[in-house]
Every structure is written in structure tokens, then in C-alpha cells.
């Protein structure tokens, strides 16, 4: 035999009664208020008959299912506690307002025995009595709930002491999952105890859920931006690779024009470097391999020291595409002024030049006289 609950949830509008775990009226959707039952009749405990199954469920799986149900109960407890605390605070505000109105009526009446004044005072006193009674019921319910949760926390502590900690890889075994669920359930019940004792705000769980949702949204935005940035960088790299000149021997006709333009730009830089004796520009158009050849740089410096270029022109005689580089035959026409002999010289050179793409830029790899 077990006793029925000593209170029911009653609608203040339509006065219908509901079970203790109901929060809102099914008819008018108003928030229910707890009301004490004057006569609680015992009900017979019925034994639950389970249908036999062909394959029994493992004990650990049953334990996990039971704890999942307990988690749902904890969530219901949280909502129930929040509703009770909210209703209690609302009733306290109503009580304070009613007391102020009662005091105002008494002061305005000045001790008058007028029937209207007396009836108004009686109504306010009756209303205050009803509110005080409801507050007392709510606080009694909260006290009973607090004792129940304290007992459940004690049971959870006992279960945890009897269980062995699964360690870091708790999720690999059913026993580990059970242990973690027990820890989580105890934590939530302690939070509810903190709410009941006033150490935490009544809407603590709601705030935590919203914070988790906002964190998830922020992480999603960060992940989306990160992926977009990586896609942008990849596309940019692909664009640079596709735009790099002279990367294949099987260049199409339109790419051949671009490659020829690159050669023309390089030869223009060589011409400008010789006319202006700009060693930096000259070095930037030769590959590392070419600059490392003995006497390469010293030779051009010595030539500039002894001669001045009065004119310098070139002509691309032919061009051959090869994998990773370009070979071209260049004819140079130059007019040199000798600083020693003070004479002008006209020279013509036919050179075979190998070009190579180095660091994304076309450079001279080697030069051979023809």
C-alpha cells in the first residue's frame, strides 16, 4: 500500500484539479497552483506484469535505460522547481501589493465603521489569507522536494562509491557510460538543491541551455569562416599556379603569346639594366644557378666599367618550348663606347638562351654563343 500525494495542482481560473506533475491547465492553459488534499485515500499498489521476451536484455543496458529515465525525471524536477519558485515569488508580490492596499484602505477610512469600508477590508484580509495559505503550500512542497532530492543524492553517492571509476576511456564500456551518467545526474540534482537553497538563480538551467546554444552557434560560425578562408586560399593558390608562365611544354597558342610576352619583358629588363648599369635589376633576371657560375657577376661589372652602351636592341629569332623552361635564339645589336680608346664599336651577337621559371618568375638559366 502506498499513499497518494497530499496535494494536487488546481487551476485558479476554471478550478479543475490535475495530477501533481501537471504544470498548466489543459482547458484554459493557465498556470496551476498546488492545493492540499484534505483526505488522502490510500491506493493499492498494483504489481506490474511484464510480458516474457525471447532474448533477455542485459543488466547493464537496463541500467542505462533506467538512468536515462532518471535524467528525464531530473529535467522535470528542474521545470517543476522553476514553476514553483516563480509562482511563490509571484504570490509574494501579490501579498505585498494586497497588504499595501489594505493599509491604504484602513488609513483612508480613519477607523470608520462604514459597511463598505469594512467589507473592503474584509475582502483584502480574506485575499491575504488565501495568498498566505498558497505560499505556505508551495513552501511545504519545496521543502518536501528538497528532502527527496537530498535522499536521492545520498543514494547516488552510495552507487558511485560502490562503482569503480572507468578512467578516460569511459565511453568504450557500458559500465563506464553508467558511471558517467550517475555523475551527471548527481551534478544536476546538486544544482537543483542550489536553486532550492537560493545559491543559484531559478532559471539556471535555462541560462545554461541558452549559453550552450550560443556557444554552438559561435563555433559553427567560426568553423564556417575557417572553411571559407581555406577555400579562398586554395582557390587563390590555384589561380596563381594557373597564371604562372611557362609551366608546361604543351602550351596552347594563347599561352604561347603570354610566354613570348614574358620573354620580351625579361629582355627589356636586361636591356634597361645594361643601359643604366643596374646590377640589382640585372641579377633579378638570372637564375640562382646562373649567378653562381664563376665570374658571371664580375664579368658584367668589368664590362660596364670599360664600356658604355650607347644603343642596345634585340630580336627574338626563334623560340622552342620545353618542359619547365623555354629556349630562344636572341640576336643582340649594340653600340659600345670604349672608355680607354674613346672609340665607338658596333657589335652583333647571336645567343641561345635557356629560360626557367623560378619562384614564379621567368629568369635566364644559361646563355650560349652561336
CATH at 261: 3.10.450.50
d(CA 13, CA 25): 9
Q: Is residue 265 in some structural domain?
A: yes
Provide the domain count of the chain: 3
Per-residue pLDDT tens for 143-174? 888 888 888 888 888 888 877 776 666 566 66
**Are the CB atoms for 67 and 182 separated by under 8 Å?**
yes
Examine residue 269 and state whether it is found in any structural domain, yes or no: yes
CB 225: neighbour CB atoms within 10 A?
A: 10
User: How far is it, in rounded angstroms, from Cα 280 to Cα 219?
Assistant: 49
Task: Report strand pairing: 325-338 vs 17-18.
Answer: unpaired
Strands annotated E in the chain: 7-10, 17-18, 33-36, 307-322, 325-338, 344-358, 361-369
Q: What are the CB-based long-range contacts (under 8 Å, 24+) for 174-181? A: 174/58, 174/60, 174/61, 174/63, 174/64, 175/60, 177/64, 178/60, 178/63, 178/64, 178/67, 181/64, 181/67, 181/68, 181/71
Cell numbers placing 190:
546538486
Would you say residue 25 lies in a domain? no
Q: For residue 22, name the pLDDT band (cuts at 50, 70, 90).
A: confident
Q: Is the predicted pLDDT of residue 76 greater than 70, yes or no? A: yes
- In the predicted model, is pLDDT for residue 356 greater than 70? yes
The reply to whether 196 and 62 lie within a common domain is yes
Same domain, 193 and 276: no
* Close Cβ partners of 25 (under 8 Å, ≥ 6 residues apart): 11, 13, 14, 16, 18, 31, 32
pLDDT, position 250: 38
What span, in angstroms and rounded, lies between the C-alpha atoms of 129 and 162? Answer: 50
168 located within any domain: yes
Pair 258, 169 in one domain: no
pLDDT of residue 252: 40
Strand duo 307-322 + 17-18: pairing: unpaired
**Shared domain check, 335 and 360:** yes
C-alpha cell at 325: 623552361
Are residues 271 and 220 part of one domain? no
Instruction: Verify that 83 and 196 share a domain, yes or no.
Output: yes
Same domain, 182 and 217: no
Which range among 180-189, 224-233, 251-260 shows the weakest confidence by mean pLDDT?
A: 251-260
**Does residue 226 lie within any of the structural domains?**
yes
Would you say residue 66 has pLDDT above 60?
Answer: no
| Of 236, 232, 267, 31, nearest in space to 138 by CA | 31
Is residue 243's pLDDT more than 60? no
- Ranked by mean pLDDT, which of 20-29, 116-125, 264-273, 315-324 comes out on top? 264-273
Q: What pLDDT is stored for residue 57 in this prediction?
A: 42
pLDDT at 93 over 60: yes
195 located within any domain? yes
Quick check: pTM over 0.85?
A: no
| Whether pLDDT at 124 is above 80 | yes
Name residue 342's beta-bridge partners: none
In a domain, 49, yes or no: no
| Structural domain range at position 220 | 205-239
**Do the beta carbons of residue 61 and residue 174 sit within 8 Å?**
yes
Task: Report the mean per-residue pLDDT for the chain.
Answer: 77
Q: What is the pLDDT of residues 162-215, one digit of tens each?
A: 777 766 665 666 677 777 777 888 888 888 888 888 888 877 877 877 888 889
φ, ψ for residue 211, nearest 5 deg: -60, -40
Please check whether residues 234 and 306 belong to one and the same domain: no
Same domain as 162, residue 270: no
Residue 2 lies in a domain: no
Residue from 213, 212, 207, 211 nearest 191 by CA: 207
> How many other β-carbons are positioned within 10 Å of the β-carbon of residue 10?
19
- Asked if residue 246 has pLDDT above 80, the reply is no
Cα separation, 269 vs 361, whole angstroms: 13
C-alpha span between 327 and 313 (Å, rounded): 19
219, 161: one domain: no
- Scanning the structure block, which residue is given the C-alpha cell 550552450? 212
What pLDDT is stored for residue 217 in this prediction?
93
Query: What's the rounded Cα separation, in Å, for the pair 267 and 330?
Result: 9
Quote the distance between the C-alpha of residue 234 and its chain's center: 22
Q: How confident is the model at residue 261 (pLDDT cuts 50, 70, 90)?
A: confident
Average pLDDT over every residue of 324-329: 76
- CA dist 193 and 199 (Å) reads 9
What's the rounded Cα separation, in Å, for the pair 145 and 126? 29
Distance between CA atoms of 193 and 74, rounded to whole angstroms? 12
195 and 212 in a common domain: no
Instruction: Identify the pLDDT of residue 248.
Output: 42
Question: What is the pLDDT averaged over residues 135-139?
Answer: 88
Whether 306 and 218 share a structural domain:
no
- Read off the pLDDT band of 67 (50, 70, 90): low
Amino acid at each position: 500500500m502506498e499513499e497518494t500525494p497530499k496535494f494536487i495542482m488546481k487551476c485558479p481560473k476554471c478550478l479543475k484539479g490535475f495530477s501533481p506533475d501537471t504544470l498548466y491547465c489543459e482547458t484554459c492553459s493557465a498556470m496551476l497552483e498546488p492545493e492540499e488534499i484534505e483526505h488522502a485515500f490510500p491506493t493499492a499498489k498494483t504489481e506490474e506484469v511484464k510480458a516474457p521476451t525471447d532474448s533477455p536484455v542485459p543488466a547493464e543496458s537496463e541500467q542505462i535505460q533506467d538512468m536515462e529515465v532518471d535524467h528525464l525525471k531530473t529535467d522535470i524536477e528542474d521545470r517543476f522547481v522553476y514553476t514553483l519558485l516563480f509562482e511563490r515569488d509571484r504570490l509574494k508580490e501579490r501579498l505585498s501589493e494586497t497588504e499595501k492596499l489594505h493599509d491604504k484602505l484602513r488609513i483612508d477610512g480613519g477607523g470608520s465603521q462604514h459597511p463598505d469600508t469594512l467589507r473592503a477590508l474584509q475582502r483584502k484580509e480574506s485575499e491575504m489569507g488565501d495568498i498566505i495559505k498558497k505560499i505556505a503550500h508551495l513552501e511545504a512542497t519545496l521543502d518536501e522536494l528538497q528532502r527527496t532530492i537530498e535522499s536521492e543524492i545520498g543514494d547516488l553517492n552510495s552507487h558511485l562509491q560502490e562503482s569503480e571509476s572507468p578512467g578516460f576511456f569511459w565511453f568504450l564500456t557500458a559500465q563506464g557510460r553508467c558511471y558517467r551518467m550517475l555523475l551527471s545526474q548527481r551534478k544536476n540534482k546538486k544544482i537543483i538543491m542550489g536553486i532550492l537553497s537560493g545559491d543559484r538563480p531559478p532559471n539556471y538551467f535555462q541560462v545554461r541551455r541558452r549559453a550552450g546554444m550560443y556557444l554552438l552557434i559561435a563555433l559553427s560560425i567560426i568553423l564556417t569562416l575557417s572553411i571559407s578562408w581555406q577555400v579562398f586560399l586554395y582557390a587563390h593558390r590555384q589561380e596563381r599556379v594557373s597564371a604562372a608562365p611557362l609551366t608546361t611544354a604543351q602550351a596552347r597558342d594563347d599561352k604561347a603569346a603570354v610566354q613570348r610576352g614574358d620573354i620580351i619583358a625579361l629582355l627589356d629588363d636586361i636591356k634597361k639594366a645594361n643601359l643604366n648599369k643596374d646590377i640589382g635589376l640585372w641579377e633579378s633576371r638570372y637564375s640562382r644557378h646562373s649567378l653562381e657560375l664563376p665570374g658571371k657577376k664580375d664579368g658584367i661589372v668589368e664590362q660596364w666599367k670599360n664600356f658604355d652602351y650607347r644603343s642596345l636592341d634585340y630580336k627574338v629569332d626563334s623560340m622552342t618550348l620545353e618542359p619547365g623552361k623555354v629556349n630562344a635564339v636572341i640576336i643582340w645589336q649594340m653600340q659600345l663606347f670604349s672608355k680607354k680608346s674613346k672609340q665607338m664599336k658596333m657589335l652583333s651577337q647571336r645567343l641561345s638562351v635557356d629560360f626557367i621559371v623560378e619562384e614564379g618568375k621567368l629568369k635566364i638559366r644559361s646563355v650560349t654563343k652561336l
